[in-house]
Amino acid sequence: MDQIYIPKNRVGLGVGDYVEIKPIGANLQDEERERKLYFYKIKYLEPIKLDIINRVIEIIDEEIKNDNIIIAGSFLDKGFEFADLDIVVLCNANIDDKHIDEVLEKKIGIKTHVVIINNSALIVGLSSDPLYQMMLSKCVAKNRFIYRIKKKIDYKILDLHLLKSKVLMQNYDVLNGREKYYFTRNMVAIYLFLHSKRIDREKVEKEIKDIFNLNDIDGIRLNMLDKESFLKRYKEIYNKTFDKIMENIKDGAK
C-alpha cells in the first residue's frame, strides 16, 4: 500500500472526508489557491475558513494593488465564535479601508476589520507596539513575509493602549467573557513588552494563566471567574504597568 501525504491546512478537505486520488495536473486550480497562503503558528484551519480567506484575497486583489494581505485575529482560532475578520493590507496607495470593509461584507457576508498600511509604518508598529507583534504572531498571509525589527518603546503609545484596559475595572459586571479576555490580553501584552519579553499570543495567554492562576484561558472567555480575586490581581498588574509607563514618560520629559 502506497502512502500519500497531504498538508494539515488544505482547501475543501476535512478530517474523515473521502477523496479521489488523481495524477499531478488533474486539478491545478485548488493547488494554486493553496500555494498562495503562508501559515504562521497555525496547525490547522477548518476548510471553510480557508475558502473564506482565499475569497477575501481574491476580492481585495480585484479592488486594489497590494504587496501583501494578512489575516489575523480570532477568526484563526478553532471554532466559529469570531466577531469579525481582521485583515491587514500592505499597500502604498491612499485607500479608504472602510470602502474595502463594505465591499467584503457585501460579497462574503462577514463583518471585517480592514487596516491598510504601508511597509514602513508596519515596521514602526512592530518595533514599538506590542499589539502589532501579537497580532502578526499568528496569521495567514498571501505572500511570505520576514521583518527584522529593533525594539523601540514609545511610552505614550503604551499609555493610550493601557487606558483601554481600565474599562474592565470600571465595567466588570456588564462586560461579557470575550470582552474581559480582550482587555486582559491587552494589558498583559503591554506588561510583558515593558519587561522585554517576546510578544506572541501563546506567551501572552500563558502569562495570563500564570498571573490569574487559571488552568485554562477559556475561564475568562466563558466568564467563569471569581470576581473578587480576579479584580484584585487585575488591579495589581494594571497599576504596576501604569506606574512603569508614567515613570518613563516623566524621565523622558526631563
What is the average pLDDT score of the chain? 85
Domain total in the chain:
2
**Last residue in a domain, options 88, 112, 141:** 141
**Last residue in a domain, options 141, 172, 201:** 141
Same domain, 231 and 169: yes
Is the residue at 216 inside a domain? yes
pLDDT tens for residues 8-56? Answer: 565 555 666 666 665 544 443 444 445 578 999 888 889 999 999 999 9
State yes or no: pLDDT of 60 exceeds 70: yes
Is the residue at 67 inside a domain? yes
Same domain, 52 and 135: yes
Is the residue at 191 inside a domain? yes
State yes or no: pLDDT of 62 exceeds 70: yes
Same domain, 167 and 247: yes
Is the residue at 4 inside a domain? no
Same domain, 168 and 193: yes
* pLDDT for res 74: 85
Same domain, 133 and 167: no
Grid coordinates of 113: 476589520
Alpha helix stretches (DSSP H) within the chain: 28-35, 47-63, 97-108, 119-128, 130-137, 155-170, 177-194, 201-212, 218-221, 227-253
Is the residue at 83 inside a domain? yes
Instruction: State the DSSP code for 67.
Output: S
CATH code of the domain containing 79 = 3.30.460
Same domain, 182 and 124: no
Is the residue at 26 inside a domain? no
Same domain, 68 and 94: yes
Report the predicted TM-score, pTM, of the whole model to 2 decimal places.
0.74
Closest C-alpha among 230, 242, 137 to residue 177 = 230
pLDDT tens for residues 82-109? Answer: 778 999 999 988 888 899 999 999 999 9
* pLDDT for res 106: 93
Q: Which residues contact 13 (CB under 8 A, 6 or more apart)?
A: 6, 19, 47
pLDDT tens for residues 157-203? Answer: 899 999 999 999 999 999 999 899 999 999 999 999 998 777 888 89
Instruction: State the DSSP code for 217.
Output: T
Point out which residues pair with 113 in neighbouring strands: 86
Same domain, 176 and 99: no
Read off φ and ψ for residue 18, nearest 5 degrees: -85, 140
Same domain, 188 and 119: no
Q: Which structural domain, as residue segments, surrounds residue 168?
A: 155-253
* Number of neighbours of residue 129 by Cβ within 10 angstroms: 21
- 31 touches 40 (CB < 8 A): no
Instruction: State the DSSP code for 173.
Output: G
Read off φ and ψ for residue 79, nearest 5 degrees: 95, -170
* Number of neighbours of residue 43 by Cβ within 10 angstroms: 8
Is the residue at 199 inside a domain? yes
Same domain, 135 and 48: yes
Q: Which residues of 177-186 are buried (b: 16+ CB within 10 A; e: fewer)?
A: eebbbbbbbb
Is the residue at 16 inside a domain? no
Strands 139-141 and 68-72, bridge-based pairing? antiparallel
**Last residue in a domain, options 141, 168, 187:** 141
Same domain, 136 and 162: no
Quote the CA–CA distance of 11 and 67 in Å, as a whole number: 23
Same domain, 120 and 58: yes
